[in-house]
Amino acid sequence: MAKKLITVNVNGKAQEKAVEPRTLLIHFLREELNLTGAHIGCETSHCGACTVDIDGQSVKSCTHLAVQCDGSEVLTVEGLANKGVLHAVQEGFYKEHGLQCGFCTPGMLMRAYRFLQENPNPSEDEIRHGMAGNLCRCTGYQNIVKAVQYAAKKLQEPVTA
Amino acid sequence: MNAPVQTAEARELALAGMGVSRLRKEDARFIQGKGNYVDDIKMPGMLHMDIVRSPIAHGRIVRINKEKALAIPGVHAVLTADDLKPLKLHWMPTLAGDVAAVLADQKVHFQMQEVAIVIADDRYIAADAVEAVEVEYDELPVVLDPYAALLPDAPVLRDDLAGKTSGAHGPREHHNHIFTWDAGDKAAADAAFDNAAVKVSQHMYYPRVHPCPLETCGCVASFDPIKGELTTFITSQAPHVVRTVVSMLSGIPESKVRIVSPDIGGGFGNKVGIYPGYVCAIVSSIVLGRPVKWVEDRIENISSTAFARDYHMDGEIAATADGKITGLRVNVIADHGAFDACADPTKFPAGMFHIVSGSYDIPAAHCSVKGVYTNKAPGGVAYRCSFRVTEAVYLVERMVDVLAQKLNMDKAEIRAKNFIKKEQFPYTSAFGFEFDSGDYQTALDKVLHAVDYKGLRAEQAARRADPNSPTLMGIGLVTFTEVVGAGPSKMCDILGVGMFDSCEIRIHPTGSAIARMGTITQGQGHQTTYAQIIATELGIPSEVIQVEEGDTSTAPYGLGTYGSRSTPVAGAAIALAARKIHAKARKIAAHMLEVNENDLDWEVDRFKVKGDDAKFKTMAEVAWQAYHQPPAGLEPGLEAVHYYDPPNFTFPFGIYLCVVDIDRATGETKIRRFYALDDCGTRINPMIIEGQIHGGLTEGFAVAMGQQMPFDAQGNLLGNTLMDYFLPTFVETPHWETDHTVTPSPHHPLGAKGVAESPHVGSIPTFTSAMVDAFAHLGMTHMDMPHNAFRVWKQLKAHGVNL
């Protein structure tokens, strides 16, 4: 199948690759770029294990074509920490036991990352609705809610220079 | 040189050992996208396998045309049962003593059965090739109802069993009959019923559901034709068993088979079995001499690998007029699908279903389970439970509620009246289980007090009296006992291998340690919990204890992780391996301190000379000595292996209470409150335990309120994507309240019983108890799951209470 050249900025680095038009973004990330953090759980946009951030929006990469990302900025879980310092959502999931098997975690983290920019000071109910596109089979969500609350609090703390 | 003097309390805190909610050691990789799951594994030259599946539920294969698929560039092979036949791999033995088709041999027995495989350069080409394989079928009548399957003129499902009048579990009475398994004393139970003042009976169906972990099943098989070695990375809850089976099937010596379970994205019983896809990927790698990856998609996962439950149950209770249970009888028709591929210990085709007498002192009991073939996928795994315990607990808890309603007694009162009393432990049940320990009444009282049970009942009475109430209020109560930690090898084996588990611990010269285990974590946090046990046993900080599992080339043989057996069995192996090391360390410390062993006391992380606090040697100092200059007559080094064969099962229990409000207009249910008290004996990491309970309750909620695998008359599975199959989101999932009591197991070295499955097992009947309770004043004694809004709305209408 004829390939198409695309340029995508992934985690701050420009990637120029030739891809088949039918290549899904999740496979582009996992197999072309070896970014295996995002996972495939359902192939139907229901579970959210494949969630990444594209140009400031949460996107389920299992139903998104790589060619749709030409010229876009993509952030994956691998780009969340900054020079070895964990992002507040990563710290929150660790401190509040917000993960068990870890399979949904990269998608959860990326959704939480975007959600807390959409709503920096959410109620529990708002967290539950704002994160509802991501499924977890292990935790029962209660500790993920706490993890997001932890991150919200941390992100609102004044930055010490 | 000794470390700076610290108090024993400060040193104990620094160990982060047993009883501490220490954060998880495994999290760093998962929160940074560095987990290593099967589909993350890439090998040089790796090919991709995909599966051609049957669109029909029952039929003969007339012909298979591979030509168009083989013509697609990038396709390496298309294999069918005829290609596997010369290798004798077109059928394989199941864990239940039956055989299952690896690829359909002349006939398909269920929709989505594996018919052919294609191997191609990448997964896109493989998917194209699957579409291009042409299969012609001659359809046969479909049998989906297990009762209909046993009618004299029912279609024969398994041609391969023609003339076989007995199976792995005794005589077969019909061509679609697999086994009949009995437990208890039928004559005694019948006598109890003959003399009973009160008798109740209830039919109930426990629907076919699927464990549906977020990661599907898959593997990467790599056969090295030069060395004759096979390495397979696989989503398995029992990698050592897989190695044994693969060796038996392939003829490759077990020493040249390496099975690795890397990070596993949830198992819940789905990853215990050995599936055709695994076998085909391994065969493909052997045939092609290249690594081959196979990963299921979600539809394949729900349709073909490992359903759970599908039990049609009839329960009967005999009792005195004042509610003392005198007898229990249970008859089950078990729908096993097309092949008997249940994952149970060999001698127990219905698993531990005979825990069905529950937490109650029932003098006479009998159960009988009949396994039946139908045109559905094989399986029958323990979905977050220990071998059919979920079905058993559901049955007995429902029956006790039915009896309470008949006698107009309160649910709590009738349970208290029938509990096995604290002083009766160890207690031998009518089915022969020896319950290790329990204190049900204390736990029940704690829950009833915590939720203000009397207040709830008063509120319910007021609501029922108000015809304008927009909701029906129901209160569910369950007081369950599980049997986990399989199991004693005198009773439990898988393919002849006893269900022990194992641990190897090595202390390094500088005082850190590594432990290797026969189990495999799928999210349970073994790397943390196990390290905490060693920390406390040996005085080494859990931070510097590595735990490795899942690689059969390094780990000692173990039976794996399912049935809540990791802490009861492997946890005991850890403690006893650590105690072997401790005994040797004591000898070394005595030598170093120039005293007799008996003159030493152990304190947190050191051996101290009795009566002289200043004279001591820490475990780290002892470790150095063990490698530097061990005492004469002692081997250098500091390590031990222990294989633990448990003397008995463990019997964790719980008291769960649920309050529901059912919308009379829509049938939608709000879980107002769910209070779960668990007693899993000694608690090693309370944070992890609580997390496991949240997860188990949520999976129980899913089963009770929405999960089912419905089929149409042609055998098409109507719900095999996440669009249709219910996995609760953040929004539906209730808030969970947890509590605990601690009744240690007297026979376990740590007193621990196992916990992760209790919340699933216990919560499901609690939801049903609450839902039925909402209708109890209208005469309802039972309704089958799932309690989704439509089904509940139909009940509201049937009882004339819909708005």
CATH number at residue A13: 3.10.20.30
Closest CA to B80 of B62, B104, B101, B112: B104
Range(s) of chain B covered by CATH 3.90.1170.50: 38-140+216-264+272-304
Of the partner residues A22, A80, A140, the one whose CB lies closest to the CB of residue B736: A140
pLDDT at A1: 73
Q: Name the packing angle between helices B758-775 and B389-407 (round to 10°).
A: 30
Contact A133, A111 (CB under 8 A): yes
Could you confirm whether domain B307-486+649-798 is CATH 3.40.50.2300? no
Instruction: Give the whole-angstrom CA distance, residue B333 versus residue B313.
Output: 7
Residues A9 and A74 placed together within one structural domain of the fold? yes
DSSP lists the bridge partners of residue A52 as: A59
The answer to whether residue B73 neighbours chain A at the CB level (below 8 Å) is: no
pLDDT mean over B568-586 = 97
What residues 84-123 of chain A have any CB closer than 8 A to a CB of chain B?
A: 86, 90, 93-95, 97, 99-106, 109
pLDDT mean over B606-621 = 96
Distance from CA of B735 to the nearest CA of A (A): 7
pLDDT at B1: 46
Each residue's pLDDT tens digit, B672-718: 999 999 999 999 999 999 999 999 999 999 999 999 999 999 999 99
Whether residue B730 and residue A31 make contact (CB cut-off 8 A), yes or no, is no
Contacts of A76 in chain B (CB under 8 A): 33
Instruction: Give the whole-angstrom CA distance, residue B167 versus residue B160.
Output: 13
Whether residue A39 and residue B39 make contact (CB cut-off 8 A), yes or no, is yes
Whether residue A143 and residue B691 make contact (CB cut-off 8 A), yes or no, is yes
> Which of A10, A125, A141 would best serve as a mutation to test chain B binding (most B beta carbons within 10 A)?
A141
Contacts of A133 in chain B (CB under 8 A): 729
Closest CA to B431 of B362, B516, B495: B362
Q: Is the pLDDT of residue B406 over 60?
A: yes
Q: For B799, list phi and psi in degrees, rounded to 5.
A: -95, 5
Q: Is residue A83 a part of any domain in this protein? A: no
pLDDT mean over B204-212 = 98
Residues A147 and A112 placed together within one structural domain of the fold? yes
Q: Is the pLDDT of residue A136 over 50?
A: yes
Instruction: Give the whole-angstrom CA distance, residue A128 versus residue A126.
Output: 5
pLDDT mean over A117-130 = 98
Residues A97 and A59 placed together within one structural domain of the fold? no
pLDDT-based confidence at residue B561 (cuts at 50, 70, 90): very high
Whether residue B214 and residue A103 make contact (CB cut-off 8 A), yes or no, is yes
What are the catalytic residues of B?
237, 384-385, 757
The answer to whether residue A143 neighbours chain B at the CB level (below 8 Å) is: yes
Contacts of A97 in chain B (CB under 8 A): 23-24, 687-688, 690-691
Whether residue A37 and residue B33 make contact (CB cut-off 8 A), yes or no, is yes
CA angle at residue B246 from B241 to B252, to 5 degrees? Answer: 130
pLDDT mean over B199-227 = 98
Whether residue A127 and residue B687 make contact (CB cut-off 8 A), yes or no, is no
Q: Which residues of B174-191 are buried (b: 16+ CB within 10 A; e: fewer)?
A: ebbbbbbbebbbeeebee
Q: Which residues of B73-93 are buried (b: 16+ CB within 10 A; e: fewer)?
A: eebbbbbbbebbeeeebbbbb
Instruction: Give the whole-angstrom CA distance, residue A58 versus residue A48.
Output: 10
DSSP reduced 3-state for B325: strand
In this prediction the pTM is 0.97
ipTM of the complex: 0.98
Residues A54 and A102 placed together within one structural domain of the fold? no
| First-to-last C-alpha distance (Å) of chain A | 53
What is the domain range of residue A19? 4-78
Q: Is the pLDDT of residue B343 over 90?
A: no
DSSP, res B718: S
Q: Which residues of B12-23 are buried (b: 16+ CB within 10 A; e: fewer)?
A: beebbbbebebb
Query: Helical H runs in chain A?
Result: 25-27, 88-95, 105-118, 124-130, 142-156
pLDDT mean over B276-297 = 97
pLDDT at B353: 97
Sheet holding B545-549, edge to edge: B545-549, B513-517, B501-507, B639-644
Q: Is residue A132 a part of any domain in this protein? A: yes
Whether residue B721 and residue A46 make contact (CB cut-off 8 A), yes or no, is yes
User: 10 Å Cβ neighbour count for B444?
Assistant: 21
Sign of torsion, CA B13 B18 B20 B24? positive
Residue of A nearest to B37 (CA): A103
Q: Is the pLDDT of residue B648 over 80?
A: yes
Whether residue A127 and residue B730 make contact (CB cut-off 8 A), yes or no, is yes
Instruction: Give the whole-angstrom CA distance, residue B543 versus residue B540.
Output: 8
Residues A51 and A110 placed together within one structural domain of the fold? no
Residues A127 and A104 placed together within one structural domain of the fold? yes
Q: Is the pLDDT of residue B4 over 80?
A: no
Contacts of A32 in chain B (CB under 8 A): none
Residues A62 and A101 placed together within one structural domain of the fold? no
Whether residue A128 and residue B42 make contact (CB cut-off 8 A), yes or no, is no
Distances (CA, A) of B509 to B555, B585, B622, B625, B638: 21, 12, 9, 8, 8
Residue B504 identity:
E
Q: Is the pLDDT of residue A160 over 70?
A: no
Contact B376, B340 (CB under 8 A): no
Closest CA to B497 of B341, B645, B279: B645
What residues 22-81 of chain A have any CB closer than 8 A to a CB of chain B?
A: 22-23, 27, 30-31, 34-44, 46-47, 49, 76-78, 80-81
Token output for B188: 């005694």
Beta-sheet pairing, B307-319 with B379-381: parallel
Residues A63 and A105 placed together within one structural domain of the fold? no
Q: Is residue A48 a part of any domain in this protein? A: yes
Token output for B69: 């698929």
Residue B356 identity:
V
Q: Is residue A161 a part of any domain in this protein? A: no
Q: Is the pLDDT of residue B3 over 70?
A: no
> Pick from A43, A78, A113: which residue ends a domain?
A78
- In total, how many domains does chain A have? 2
Contacts of A94 in chain B (CB under 8 A): 23-24, 27-28, 31
Whether residue B694 and residue A128 make contact (CB cut-off 8 A), yes or no, is no
CA dihedral B33, B36, B39, B42 (to 10 degrees): 110
Instruction: Give the whole-angstrom CA distance, residue B328 versus residue B430.
Output: 10
Instruction: Give the whole-angstrom CA distance, residue B626 versus residue B639.
Output: 10
Write the CATH number of the domain with boundaries B38-140+216-264+272-304. Answer: 3.90.1170.50
Residues A106 and A61 placed together within one structural domain of the fold? no
Token output for B196: 């009973």
DSSP, res B22: P
Closest CA to B476 of B675, B652, B204: B675
DSSP reduced 3-state for B296: coil
What residues 304-343 of chain B have any CB closer than 8 A to a CB of chain A?
A: none
> Which of B24, B31, B216 would best serve as a mutation to test chain A binding (most A beta carbons within 10 A)?
B31
Distances (CA, A) of A112 to A60, B329, B523: 14, 51, 21
Sign of torsion, CA B752 B756 B761 B762? positive
pLDDT at B52: 98
CA dihedral B445, B450, B454, B456 (to 10 degrees): -140
User: 10 Å Cβ neighbour count for B450?
Assistant: 14
Residues A149 and A127 placed together within one structural domain of the fold? yes
What one-character-per-residue DSSP string does B618-665 give? Answer: EHHHHHHHHHH-PPTTS-SS-EEEEEE--SS-B--EEEEEEEEEEETT
Range(s) of chain B covered by CATH 3.30.365.10: 8-35+501-644, 307-486+649-798
> Pick from A44, A78, A112: which residue ends a domain?
A78
DSSP lists the bridge partners of residue A6 as: A17
Q: Is the pLDDT of residue B2 over 60?
A: no
Percent of chain B with pLDDT over 90: 97
Closest CA to B736 of A141, A134, A112: A141
pLDDT at A126: 98
Token output for B367: 């159960």
Q: Is the peptide bond before B426 cis (omega within 30 degrees of 0)?
A: yes
What does pLDDT average to over chain B?
97
Q: Is the peptide bond before B4 cis (omega within 30 degrees of 0)?
A: no
Contact B279, B89 (CB under 8 A): yes
Fold of B8-35+501-644: Aldehyde Oxidoreductase; domain 4 (3.30.365)
Instruction: Give the whole-angstrom CA distance, residue B136 versus residue A109.
Output: 47
pLDDT-based confidence at residue B386 (cuts at 50, 70, 90): confident
Q: Is residue A44 a part of any domain in this protein? A: yes
Q: Is the pLDDT of residue B180 over 50?
A: yes
DSSP reduced 3-state for B479: strand
Q: For A131, list phi and psi in degrees, rounded to 5.
A: -105, 5
Q: Is the peptide bond before B749 cis (omega within 30 degrees of 0)?
A: no
Sign of torsion, CA B660 B483 B216 A57? positive
DSSP lists the bridge partners of residue B233 as: B220, B260
DSSP, res B355: G
Of the partner residues A27, A78, A127, the one whose CB lies closest to the CB of residue B33: A78
Q: Which H or E run includes B289? A: none
Residues A8 and A74 placed together within one structural domain of the fold? yes
Contact B232, B282 (CB under 8 A): yes
In B399-500, where do the E strands start and end? 427-428, 434-435, 471-481, 493-494, 497-498
Q: Is residue A160 a part of any domain in this protein? A: no
Residues A73 and A95 placed together within one structural domain of the fold? no
> Pick from A33, A55, A78: which residue ends a domain?
A78
Closest CA to B285 of B305, B258, B264, B267: B258
- Distant-in-sequence, close-in-space partners of B701: CB < 8 Å, separation ≥ 6: B671, B728, B732, B733, B734, B763, B767
Q: Is the pLDDT of residue A52 over 90?
A: yes
User: 10 Å Cβ neighbour count for B570?
Assistant: 31
Contact B654, B753 (CB under 8 A): no
Contact B341, B483 (CB under 8 A): no
pLDDT mean over B724-736 = 97
Q: Which residue has the tokens 């495989």?
A: B117
CA angle at residue B259 from B254 to B265, to 5 degrees? Answer: 155
Contacts of B32 in chain A (CB under 8 A): 37, 77-78, 80-81, 86, 90
pLDDT mean over B268-297 = 96
User: 10 Å Cβ neighbour count for B233?
Assistant: 27
Contacts of B525 in chain A (CB under 8 A): 100
Q: Which of B85-89, B183-187, B424-428, B761-765 has the lowest mean pLDDT?
A: B85-89
